[in-house]
Amino acid sequence: MANLKGKVIIVTGAAMGLGLAAAEVLAWKGADLTLVDYNDEALNKTKEELASKFPDRKFLTVAADVSVEENVKNYVDQTVKEFGKVDGLYNNAGIEGKQASLVDYDINVFKKVIDINLLGVYYGMKYVIPELQKNGGKIVNVASVGGIRGVLNQTAYVATKHAVAGMTKNAALEYGKDNILTNAIAPGAILTPMVAEAFKQVNPDNPKAAEKEYASRNPTRRLGNPEDVAHLVAYLLSDENGYVSGQVIAIDGGESNMY
Ligand code: NAD
């Protein structure tokens, strides 16, 4: 299963959730990784765990807030300094914001969601693409089913995830000529710390009941696992993906097809 051997991949939001699960699968498949997160403590713990599981891989950690342009430039510079190249970017860091109706949405939270989910993804592509132009490469941006559908009480999140889908299409159009394939994934509800927090907001007294109710509406009658997503990401970042580009790929047990 070494189809990422010799690849250098940057994973943002690597300290937990979808980023952590992807980092594990990418390392298992042979990649050396730059792990980026603004939660320094959790990031270092993640690196220790990965290094002990995969002693033959190299892991660089860079503490960075993806909404700060200089931080993003720095994680790319550090990667090139350490590994001499970049082959892929898993542009995953993001936040949900708060659940509120459109009219009542707190504008400061709205702006923060834009800074992280939209500009963070944009800066990642802005600084990684010039490196990928040297030898070709792959980008996977993280949108959401909220990037292809509306989600009640999540206007800012939905706005930014639609923007991620749009930027993905543009990057694919503009840089396909440089052998850069760019896609977005659109996960449904995957059980990570972020989603656990959302269920707490939906039903503060009984978040497990909210989770169960949500899962009952899915065709598969379950939530997704971070590992389900990680394997799709690994494929999209590998050489086995030779021609998929500009797509927003739902990974949601089929739920977004339901009327
Ligand atoms: P999570 O909260 O469990 O983990 C997110 C990680 O990103 C954390 O380690 C956090 O510290 C980091 N992070 C957040 N903002 C950052 C910033 N500004 N700079 C650097 N690091 C930052 O979330 P998750 O569920 O793993 O979500 C990861 C991505 O997947 C997000 O973009 C999210 O919108 C998207 N997504 C998740 C789901 C889901 O069901 N879990 C569904 C659709 C989309």
Q: Which CATH superfamily is domain 8-188+225-252 in?
A: NAD(P)-binding Rossmann-like Domain (3.40.50.720)
The closest alpha carbon to 80, from 13, 25, 20, 130, belongs to: 130
Contacts of residue 176, Cβ cutoff 8 Å, sequence gap at least 6: 245, 246
C-alpha 177 – ligand 1 centre gap (Å)? 30
Residue ranges around ligand 1 (CB below 6 Å):
13, 15-19, 37-39, 64-67, 92-95, 116, 120, 142, 144, 187, 189-190, 192-195
117 pLDDT tier (thresholds 50, 70, 90): very high
For residue 185, what pLDDT is reported?
98
- Quickly state the pLDDT bin for 259 (edges 50, 70, 90): confident
Structure confidence at residue 15 (pLDDT): 98
The preferred substitution site among 24, 50, 66, 192 for testing ligand 1, maximizing ligand atoms within 8 Å of CB, is 192
Q: Tens of pLDDT along 21-49?
A: 999 999 999 999 999 999 999 999 999 99
pLDDT in tens, 155-189: 999 999 999 999 999 999 999 999 999 999 999 99
Residue 2 is predicted with a pLDDT of 61
Name which residue leads in pLDDT, 11 or 193: 11
Q: Which residue has the CA at smallest separation from atom 23 of ligand 1?
A: 194
The mean predicted confidence, pLDDT, of the chain is: 97
- Which of 34, 40, 68, 95 has most ligand 1 atoms within 8 Å of CB, for mutation? 95
Provide mean pLDDT across the span 136-149.
Answer: 98
Mean pLDDT (whole number) for 89-94:
98
User: What Cα–Cα distance (Å) separates residue 175 from each residue in 78, 125, 180, 207, 218?
Assistant: 23, 11, 6, 43, 36
The reported pLDDT for the residue numbered 50 is 98
CB-based contacts of 5, cutoff 8 Å, min separation 6: 29, 30, 31
For the whole model, what pTM was predicted? 0.97
The predicted model gives 88-103 an average pLDDT of 97
What integer is the mean pLDDT of 107-127? 99
Rounded to an integer, the average pLDDT of 55-76 is 98
Instruction: Give CB contacts under 8 A, 24+ apart, made by 120-123.
Output: 120/12, 120/66, 120/67, 120/72, 120/91, 120/93, 120/94, 121/66, 121/91, 121/94, 121/164, 121/167, 122/167, 123/66, 123/67, 123/69, 123/72, 123/73
Judge whether 157 counts as a catalytic residue: yes
Over residues 122-139, the mean pLDDT reads 98
Q: What is the mean pLDDT of residues 86-106?
A: 97
> Over 80: is that where the pLDDT of 20 sits?
yes
Ranges 8-22, 67-81, 198-212: which has the least confidence: 198-212
Q: Whose CA is nearest to atom 11 of ligand 1?
A: 39
Whether 134 has a pLDDT exceeding 80, the answer reads: yes
What residue spans define the domains of the chain?
A: 8-188+225-252, 189-223
pLDDT of residue 4: 98
Over range 217-231, report the average pLDDT.
Answer: 97
Phi-psi region of 247 (alpha: psi -120 to 50; beta: other; left: phi over 0): beta
